[in-house]
Amino acid sequence: MGDNKTLASTVQANMERLGIAQAAFFLRETASQPLNYLEIKDQLFGEMKATDIYAQIKGGYD
């Protein structure tokens, strides 16, 4: 489980630096190991709703 925490911290840093869309692309392209998606999702997005995430992604392209 410690590895998932490290991965979540890394993805969070990428999100802050690159934005959600580019961080998601990076994760998709590089994550080839089994992950507990729900645990990582909760660490990254907490109580955010899909509409909140969408608004952040869309905001980067306006």
Cα dihedral 32, 37, 40, 46, rounded to 10, equals 150
- The answer on pLDDT for 1 being more than 50 is no
CB 28 within 8 A of CB 14: no
Return the pLDDT at 62. 59
Residue 51: its pLDDT value, please? Answer: 92
Tell whether the model's pLDDT for residue 46 goes beyond 70. Answer: yes
Per residue in 13-36, pLDDT tens?
A: 888 888 888 888 877 877 666 777
* Distances, alpha carbon 13 to alpha carbons 8, 17, 19, 34, 62, in Å: 9, 6, 9, 21, 23
Percent of the residues in the chain that have a pLDDT greater than 70, as a whole number? 87
